């Protein structure tokens, strides 16, 4: 078993396998399930992600009325040919938003690593799919790679907004996605770690301040930014750019920042955007 990113990369390099394979082997060892059973379970997760994106891109609205329809707007904007950002990046953003809009509308999603950050990993996966044309198994491996990095964060820091702020949720999800994108694009295990580090260190200190206590504002749009962050970091790592601070140290820094973060900024809806005049007004309109 691996305890940190350093050990994860070392295992992949020494065995000359993908990070995804290291994670699959660990699941076999820990759960006692067969390889086929573990892959089948992840395949079901992939199906849930795909269905959530498809539903979100058709247009959904949350019961509160705070979110919905933005994924459709982004797709329509892409079709105009006027987008300033690249198509892959904006497609990832729209699909990340679609997933979280489905979550807000009480639809079924796959927490990666949480419900509030569920859009980043599938959003980026189904966007780069259009460019890289992976097989179904390669898409499943993408999820195992993301899971390996999520496993490290969960065991050495936190993936909970209530414990560590949104850096622990969308930040972790973005790093997981960046690492998985690198592997899917043919990068090395070490480059995946660099992508994770680059992504996460640019989201350190991100607070969790849900308006009205609902996982909608600003959560949905933070998934959008997380997806764009992940793709940018993946490209940087694939270009050979390295993080001056090692990945494990970045994760440790996130943990320490979360420990020092005031409770008002950790999912309590007592600070940040939730405490703005508009945030308070929206909460009153929803709950009376």
Q: What is the CATH number of the domain that holds 270?
A: 1.10.4100
Q: Which pTM was predicted?
A: 0.98
Q: What pLDDT score was predicted for residue 288? A: 84
Q: What pLDDT score was predicted for residue 100? A: 98
Q: Which long-range contacts (CB under 8 A, 24 or more apart) does 88-91 make?
A: 88/127, 88/128, 88/130, 88/131, 88/231, 89/127, 89/227, 89/228, 89/231, 89/232, 91/126, 91/127, 91/130
pLDDT digits (tens, 9 = 90+) for 79-98: 999 999 999 999 999 999 99
Phi/psi of residue 9, each to 5°?
Answer: -65, -40
Low-confidence ranges of the chain (pLDDT < 70): none
Q: What pLDDT score was predicted for residue 178? A: 99
Dihedral angle over CA of 177, 178, 180, 182, nearest 10: 160
Asked if 142 and 186 touch (Cβ cutoff 8 Å), the reply is no
Task: Region of 112 please: left (phi>0), alpha (psi -120 to 50) or beta.
Answer: beta
* Residue 64: domain span: 5-287
Q: What pLDDT score was predicted for residue 1? A: 87
pLDDT digits (tens, 9 = 90+) for 126-185: 999 999 999 999 999 999 999 999 999 999 999 999 999 999 999 999 999 999 999 999
How many domains, in total, are found in the chain? 1
Q: What is the DSSP string of 99-140?
A: HHHHHHTT-----SS-STTTTHHHHHHHHHHHHH---HHHHH
């Amino acid at each position: 078993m691996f305890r940190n990113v350093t050990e994860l990369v070392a295992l992949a390099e020494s065995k000359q396998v993908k990070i995804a394979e290291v994670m699959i082997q660990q699941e076999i060892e820990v759960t006692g399930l067969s390889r086929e059973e573990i892959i089948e379970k992840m395949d079901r997760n992939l199906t849930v992600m795909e269905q959530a994106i498809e539903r979100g891109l058709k247009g959904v609205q949350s019961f509160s009325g705070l979110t919905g329809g933005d994924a459709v707007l982004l797709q329509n904007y892409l079709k105009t040919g006027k987008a300033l950002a690249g198509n892959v990046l904006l497609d990832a953003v729209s699909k990340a938003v679609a997933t979280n809009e489905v979550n807000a509308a009480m639809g079924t999603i796959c927490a990666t690593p949480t419900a509030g950050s569920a859009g980043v990993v599938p959003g980026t996966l189904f966007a780069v799919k259009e460019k890289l044309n992976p097989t179904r198994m390669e898409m499943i491996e993408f999820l195992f790679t993301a899971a390996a990095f999520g496993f490290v964060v969960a065991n050495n820091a936190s993936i909970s907004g209530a414990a560590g702020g949104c850096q622990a949720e969308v930040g972790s999800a973005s790093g997981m996605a960046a690492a998985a994108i690198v592997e899917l694009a043919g990068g090395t295990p070490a480059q995946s770690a660099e992508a994770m580090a680059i992504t996460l260190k640019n989201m350190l200190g991100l607070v969790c301040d849900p308006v009205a206590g609902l996982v909608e504002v600003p959560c949905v749009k933070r998934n959008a930014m997380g997806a764009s962050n992940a793709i940018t970091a993946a490209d940087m790592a694939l270009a050979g750019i390295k993080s001056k601070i090692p990945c494990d140290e970045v994760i440790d820094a996130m943990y320490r920042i979360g420990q020092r973060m005031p409770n008002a900024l950790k999912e309590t809806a007592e600070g940040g955007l939730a405490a703005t005049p508009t945030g308070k007004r929206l909460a009153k309109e929803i709950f009376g």
